Amino acid sequence: MRTFLIAGNWKMNKTAEEARAFFAEFNALAPAKTKCEALICPTFTALSAAKEANKGRISLGAQNVYPKDSGAFTGEISPKMLSEFVTYVIVGHSERRTLLKESNAFINEKIHALLSHQLKPILCVGESLEERKAGRAFDVIAEELTEGLAAISKEQMAAITIAYEPIWAIGTGETATPAIAQEVHAFIRNWLVKHFDKSVADGVRILYGGSLKASNAHDLLSQPDIDGGLIGGASLEAKSFVDIIQIADELL
């Protein structure tokens, strides 16, 4: 049985001090025990403060990784360094694919590197508005899955989460309707059945991301193939993030 993963992606927001303030508020507002799993992915520079201030209440994740253990890679952060702070790492976010031209092959390397350090990758996939209008959404997502998950075994899939983030819904206030999101999530689930098997597909959590907030969380999380959210804007305020956790908990 899958439980919800309610994940906040802070993107390039919050200093270490601001992260401490968030967790002080979060710890006061959040129920002591939640049925769903909650996760926050701060920036690298706020990870240490977040780990201390969070007091082990929720999981922590990173927003990126470089797929090498150590060496001459100025400015980069290795899986081993991250493993001191986090359990999850986001890879293939559309902002990195677009702004930093990250390829599916590079994202695949990152996934393998994370798995070799027992870190859990969250692989983001999703189509642009032009691709959706051209009827290519499923092709784009299938390609991102095929190349991003190349040479991943059935056993390794148990550690991987997929996030469907339609680019046209990120930070725009425009959310995919529950029906559109469910259609894509079911497509991803079937892709996993075909490329691995039904038991792998049943175990993988598929998150929705793109203007998810307290006001639409119930309708999105009620869909059978939506197993949580990857939340940008609405994860920056402790109150709105806790509201989403509570909505998810009520559905479990």
- The set of catalytic residues is 93, 165
Q: What is the CA radius of gyration of the chain?
A: 17
Residue 92 Ramachandran class (φ > 0 left, ψ -120 to 50 alpha, else beta): left
241 and 8 Cβ atoms separated by less than 8 Å: yes
Q: What ranges make up the beta strands (E) of 19-64?
A: 37-41, 59-62
| Closest CB to ligand 13P among residues 7, 114 | 7
Please report how many Cα atoms fall inside a 13 Å half-sphere around the Cα of residue 99, on the Cβ side. Answer: 5
Closest residue to ligand 13P: CB criterion: 232
Non-local (6+) Cβ contacts of 183 within 8 A are none
User: In this chain, which of 82, 188, 192, 230 binds ligand 13P, going by CB under 6 A?
Assistant: 230
Shortest approach of ligand 13P to residue 231 CB, angstroms?
Answer: 5
Task: Verify binding: residue 63, ligand 13P, rule CB under 6 A.
Answer: no
Q: Using CB under 6 A, which of the segments 73-81, 177-185, 209-217, 219-227 binds ligand 13P? A: 209-217
Task: Verify binding: residue 171, ligand 13P, rule CB under 6 A.
Answer: yes
Shortest approach of ligand 13P to residue 72 CB, angstroms?
Answer: 30
Q: Using CB under 6 A, which of the segments 54-62, 67-75, 194-202, 228-236 binds ligand 13P? A: 228-236
User: In this chain, which of 61, 79, 121, 210 binds ligand 13P, going by CB under 6 A?
Assistant: 210
Among residues 172, 251, 169, 162, the alpha carbon closest in space to that of 207 is found at 162
Please report how many Cα atoms fall inside a 13 Å half-sphere around the Cα of residue 158, on the Cβ side. Answer: 6
User: In this chain, which of 34, 64, 211, 216 binds ligand 13P, going by CB under 6 A?
Assistant: 211
* Contact residues for ligand 13P, defined by CB under 6 A: 9, 93, 165, 170-171, 209-212, 230-234
